[in-house]
Amino acid sequence: MGESVNLVEIKGVYKCYHEKENPKEYAVYNVNLNIKKGEVLGLVGESGCGKSSLAKMILKLEQPTEGRILFNEQDITDYSFSQMRKIRNRMQMVFQDSTNAFNPYYTVEQIISEPLNNYSNESEEEKEKKIVSMLEKVGLNKTYLTRYSHEMSGGQRQRIGIARALILHPEFVVCDEAVSSIDYALKKQILNLLTDLKQQFGLTYLFISHDIAAVNKICDRVVVMYLGNIVEVIPHINENVQHPYTKALLAATLFPDPQRRRKNTVLFREGEEIKIPEKGCVFQNRCLYAQKICKTEQPDLITQKSGHDVACHLYHHC
Amino acid sequence: MKRNMLLKLKKQKLAMLGLTVIMIFVFAGIFAPVVAPNNPYAVDLTKKLLKPCVEFPLGTDQLGRCILSRLIYGIRTSLVTAIVATVLILTLGVPLGMIAGYVGGWLDNFIMRLADIASTFPSTLLALAVVGVWGPSIVNIMLVFVVLWWAPFARIVRSMVIKLKEKEFVLAAVASGSSRTSILLKHISLNALSPIIVLATLRIAAVIMHVAGFSFIGLGAQPPTADWGVMLSDSRQYLTSQPLLLLWPGLTITLAVLAFNLFGEGLNDVLILSSGDMSVVNGGDGKNG
Amino acid sequence: MAEQPVLSIVNLKTYFYLEKQVVKAVDGVSLDVYKGRITALIGGSGSGKSVMSLSIFNLVDKPGKIIDGEIWLNGVNLRKLSEKQLLKIRGKEISMIFQNPTSSLNPVIKVKKHLAEVIHTHNNEIGRKEALSMFRDVLFRVGLKNTDQILESYPFELSGGMCQRVMVAMGLLAHAHVLIADEPTSSLDLTTQAAILEELMRLKNEGLAVVLITHDLGVVAQMADDVYVIKDGKIVDSGTVYEVFQSPKHAYTKSLLDAVF
């Protein structure tokens, strides 16, 4: 379908929250990533891996300590608050459903109309029509307009979050753990909704999740992060994964099938403190296959074959 | 949301009692000329130190003035001072706290150091200094409190703002393209203000008490002003002969302070309860509702 | 399974009396838990599963009330015991771990003291040295290595996974026969979850009876021996894990299984 344009480019981005500490601890370390227009990129990792920080930096909700962020080939790294305001309608985020995703004093109508009011010059009736139409698209209806967030269930709140993110018809949407805190049945529904809306509006997604099944279902490509570094990039998380951490993640995934019970495999070295080592590979402390070189040199992210990159010394000598 | 909270507030019996008493005080204060049985300033030495009777429901003081009338007129000085002082404290403390919290950096540090100085400065010393330079008066004492008591408000607002800044709905507002002012006003203020409302109510009570205290030692209102603290002070001489002179203003101060405290505490409970989760009752596990 | 269940719930009913309605959170639930087996209770939000675990411990507060049913623990009907008698049983014969481990532990009390509280509630005569050695043992049993350091730590200094292990340790220390785990791993990372579940598996093999309350079918499929499906306060399906997954009897169970991808 012709050459794919990179909608988002992340070049050499680092994020350090406590810059005065020595040695510095990076929440995000040397991340290089391109998100193609129209793709669904998955971002997988556990707490502390830096995925939320990365997502916020793409939207400039946080400032990178180092590196550049490009959106639609524009370098937005140094954009001021007001410069960003001009383009925020093109990039949106569905936040993780928590009690803090919405202003507790706001009704659904206020929640969804906030972005609309910032960018649209239409009349009140037209705006209201748009809002109701979006509510219907996410499977709700106009009776929800007067409700408050604490009056709705987790699944309903999640859908309001999606409605809020899409009301401006952005090009790029970050879904941060958008299906993490809901039941199975709803999860499936929402994933289907996200895919439908992607077709309808021609969206590009960054889908952040720790749910490997969900990620495999809707993503074109998956990036795996550990303690701020990208350790692997692969089309799907399956038996082809190479990095020891990704292997451990896969092994730790619980399949809802009692016939496929995981044998007692040891995933990695237990009981070790999860800390960013001063030098060498970021996974060395827990890796079952750590060699001498892993403790001194950080492995680069190297392409094994098309679409599959791994950052691990084990595979760098092939 | 607000209707829900009002309903809950009505259920707090003690708080409603406090509010009723406050309303009575306010009413009596506003309509003092009508409510008070006598002229609070009418001196009549032939009628001094009378016990309660029909003409003087609470008796008279050492100059023959009607105690009840003086107490009622005293509402004006006490309540007005307390409310004005609290409003000024809020006007000073809340914006400073918000700026400190939202902007951060050196401005935050500067404002917080000012707050530290204000909190630790001895109030009596400052009151004496102010009175020494500008003379004793209720307005001067009130200013002393404003200058010293804005600090806790600023601190609380600041810590609420710092917490709120990182909350997802604030980030969502930024992502929605809202301006910083709009975020500060609509998202942060609304949510930072609930502890402030309670604190302000309690602060009114504290001002009433402290102003009375300073008037008692002669640094605030001056005789012949009908002021509760002044009345307390006057009554000292007659403690053994006519203890009622002490009782009435003392009781009134206590009642006023108690009323505001009860109301403030009730508000506090309501605001905290409102942000709670009734999920266990509905059979959910809190997470999914 | 000719043996007696170590925990048996018979027709339990817990209702909540609200202003305008009565919510029947648990409406006639019966289930049996056996030694050395993991019994899973699956339900979505609002199904009543959490209220069930609170009911077992008689921790249901107004406006909720247990209005009917029996709770048999090792041959004793818990519902007939006084609060004083229940205090002796809670934490000793039957123990519970909750969803959010860091907030289940008192943040200003060291781990050492948490563990000490467990044994003092039930046995006042253990000397300090002996107690410390017991603590180290039990922490080791739940997979924690630097036991001395952990004993001296505060809960907020530990990760979620470590806190959860401490909670399991507290249950073991009291020699509980039954451990009720209410969504024990849903707030934990995948890899930590795997470790905790493995721990529970090991303990089950040593004879502990585990009640696993969750909405996660993956956890159930990998861990459970017996399964009960709860919806709107009632048990709609039950059996061994293979039976329920392969031939679900109730439409709700079927819909749960269908939703999995």
Distance from the Cα of A94 to chain C's closest Cα (Å) equals 20
Which of C44, C146, C192 is opposite residue A183, by nearest beta carbon? C44
What token pair was written down for B111?
Answer: 């404002």
Among chain C residues, the shortest Cα distance to A47 is held by C189
Which of B281, B287, B289 is opposite residue C63, by nearest beta carbon? B281
pLDDT computed for residue C11 by the predictor: 92
On the question of pLDDT at A2 being above 50, the answer is no
Q: Which residues contact C26 (CB under 8 A, 6 or more apart)?
A: C12, C13, C14, C48, C51, C52, C55, C233
- The amino acid at residue C16 is F
- Burial level of B134, CB count in 10 A (0-12/13-18/19+)? exposed
Q: A155-187, pLDDT tens digit by residue? A: 788 889 999 999 998 999 999 988 876 777 778
Q: Which residue has the higher pLDDT, C214 or A262?
A: C214
Angle formed by the axes of helices C128-141 and C160-173, nearest 10°? 120
On the question of pLDDT at A43 being above 90, the answer is yes
Is A118 touching B (CB cutoff 8 A)? yes
Diameter over CA atoms, chain A:
68
Distance from the Cα of C256 to chain A's closest Cα (Å) equals 6
CB A105 within 8 A of CB B174: no
Q: Which residues contact B87 (CB under 8 A, 6 or more apart)?
A: none
- For A219: left if phi > 0, alpha if psi spans -120 to 50, otherwise beta; the answer is beta
Cβ contact A61–B289 (<8 Å): no
Distance from the Cα of B176 to chain A's closest Cα (Å) equals 4
Is A263 touching C (CB cutoff 8 A)? no
On the question of pLDDT at A74 being above 80, the answer is yes
Q: Which of residues 94-113 of A touch B (CB under 8 A)?
A: 95-96, 98-106
Question: What ipTM was predicted for this assembly?
Answer: 0.86
Distance from the Cα of A264 to chain B's closest Cα (Å) equals 31
Cβ contact A118–B1 (<8 Å): no
pLDDT by residue for chain C (261 residues), tens digit each? 457 889 999 999 998 888 788 888 888 899 999 999 999 999 877 778 888 888 888 888 878 888 888 988 888 888 888 888 887 777 778 888 887 777 778 888 898 888 888 877 666 677 788 888 888 888 887 777 788 888 888 888 887 778 888 888 887 777 788 999 888 877 777 877 887 888 888 888 888 899 999 888 888 988 999 999 998 889 999 999 999 888 888 888 888 888 776
Which of B283, B287, B288 is opposite residue C25, by nearest beta carbon? B283
Distance from the Cα of B102 to chain C's closest Cα (Å) equals 27
Distance CA B45, CA C159 (A): 78
Q: What angle do CA B262, B263, B266 make, to 5 degrees?
A: 85
Distance CA C201, CA C47 (A): 26
pLDDT computed for residue A181 by the predictor: 67
On the question of pLDDT at A53 being above 80, the answer is yes
Distance CA C58, CA C104 (A): 18
Chain B residues in contact with C186 by the CB 8 A cut-off are 287
Which of C192, C219, C255 is opposite residue A185, by nearest beta carbon? C255
Distance CA A94, CA A166 (A): 9
3-state SS, one letter per residue, for chain A: CCCCCEEEEEEEEEEECCCCCCCCCEEEEEEEEEEECCCEEEEECCCCCCHHHHHHHHCCCCCCCEEEEEECCEECCCCCHHHHHHHHHHEEEECCCCCCCCCCCCEHHHHHHHHHHHHCCCCHHHHHHHHHHHHHHCCCCHHHHHCEHHHCCHHHHHHHHHHHHHCCCCCEEEEECCCCCCCHHHHHHHHHHHHHHHHHHCCEEEEEECCHHHHHHHCCEEEEEECCEEEEEECCCCCCCCCHHHHHHHHHCCCCCCCCCCCCCCCCCCCCCCCCCCCCCCCCCCCCCCCCHHHCCCCCCEEEECCEEECCHHHCCC
Distance CA A145, CA A160 (A): 10
Chain A residues in contact with C190 by the CB 8 A cut-off are 46, 210, 212, 249, 252-253
Distance from the Cα of C35 to chain A's closest Cα (Å) equals 21
Torsion of CA B151, B152, B157, B158, to 10 degrees: 60
Which of C145, C215, C218 is opposite residue A254, by nearest beta carbon? C218
pLDDT computed for residue A213 by the predictor: 85
Q: How many CB atoms lie within 10 A of CB B37?
A: 14
Is A248 touching C (CB cutoff 8 A)? yes
Distance from the Cα of A295 to chain B's closest Cα (Å) equals 36
Q: Which long-range contacts (CB under 8 A, 24 or more apart) does A241-245 make?
A: A242/A304, A242/A308, A242/A310, A242/A312, A242/A314, A242/A315, A243/A283, A243/A310, A243/A311, A243/A312, A244/A268, A244/A283, A244/A287, A244/A288, A244/A289, A244/A312, A244/A314, A245/A283, A245/A286, A245/A287
Closest by Cα among B77, B89, B70 to B220: B77
- Burial level of C112, CB count in 10 A (0-12/13-18/19+)? middle
Cα separations in angstroms, A136 against A139, A145, A152: 5, 11, 16
pLDDT by residue for chain B (289 residues), tens digit each? 566 667 767 777 888 898 999 999 999 888 888 888 888 888 888 888 888 888 888 888 888 888 888 899 888 888 888 889 999 999 999 999 999 998 888 999 999 999 999 999 988 888 889 888 988 888 888 888 899 999 999 999 999 899 888 888 999 999 999 998 899 888 888 788 777 888 888 888 888 888 888 888 888 888 778 888 888 888 888 888 888 888 888 899 899 989 998 888 887 777 665 544 332 222 233 333 2
Distance from the Cα of B287 to chain C's closest Cα (Å) equals 8
Q: How many CB pairs under 8 A join A and C?
A: 83
Distance CA B229, CA B211 (A): 7
pLDDT computed for residue A54 by the predictor: 93
Which of A187, A210, A256 is opposite residue C190, by nearest beta carbon? A210
φ, ψ at B79 (rounded to 5°): -65, -45
On the question of pLDDT at A86 being above 70, the answer is yes
Chain B residues in contact with C55 by the CB 8 A cut-off are none
Cβ contact B275–A93 (<8 Å): no
Residues of chain C whose beta carbon is less than 8 angstroms from a beta carbon of chain A are: 44-45, 143-146, 159, 189-195, 197-198, 215-222, 224, 241-242, 245, 255-257, 259-261
Which of C23, C45, C99 is opposite residue B281, by nearest beta carbon? C23
Q: B212-251, pLDDT tens digit by residue? A: 888 888 888 887 788 888 888 888 888 888 888 888 888 9
Is B289 touching A (CB cutoff 8 A)? yes
On the question of pLDDT at A318 being above 60, the answer is no
On the question of pLDDT at A224 being above 90, the answer is yes
Cβ contact B1–A104 (<8 Å): yes
Q: pLDDT grade, residue A111 (50/70/90)?
A: very high
Diameter over CA atoms, chain C:
57
Distance CA B146, CA B142 (A): 6
Cβ contact A274–C245 (<8 Å): no
Cβ contact A188–C259 (<8 Å): yes
Q: Which residue has the higher pLDDT, A268 or A251?
A: A251
CA B188 to centroid of chain Cα atoms? 24
What is the DSSP code string of C15-69? EEE-SS-EEEEEEEEEEEE-TT-EEEEE--TTSSHHHHHHHHTT-PPTTEEEEEE
* C120 HSE (CA, 13 A, CB side): 9
Cα separations in angstroms, B63 against B47, B66, B232, B286: 8, 9, 14, 66
On the question of pLDDT at A92 being above 90, the answer is yes
- Tell me if the bond preceding C63 is cis, omega within 30° of 0: yes
Distance CA B285, CA C230 (A): 14
Distance CA C202, CA C129 (A): 27
Closest by Cα among B270, B138, B156 to B203: B156
- Tell me if the bond preceding B224 is cis, omega within 30° of 0: yes
pLDDT computed for residue A185 by the predictor: 72
Is A167 touching B (CB cutoff 8 A)? no
Q: C49-94, pLDDT tens digit by residue? A: 888 888 888 888 878 888 888 988 888 888 888 888 887 777 778 8
Distance CA C95, CA C92 (A): 7
Q: Which residues contact A5 (CB under 8 A, 6 or more apart)?
A: A36, A37, A73
Distance CA B217, CA A89 (A): 64
Closest by Cα among B91, B92, B110, B85 to B100: B110
Is C51 touching B (CB cutoff 8 A)? yes
Which of A217, A248, A258 is opposite residue C221, by nearest beta carbon? A258
3-state secondary structure of B179: coil
Distance CA A239, CA A231 (A): 16
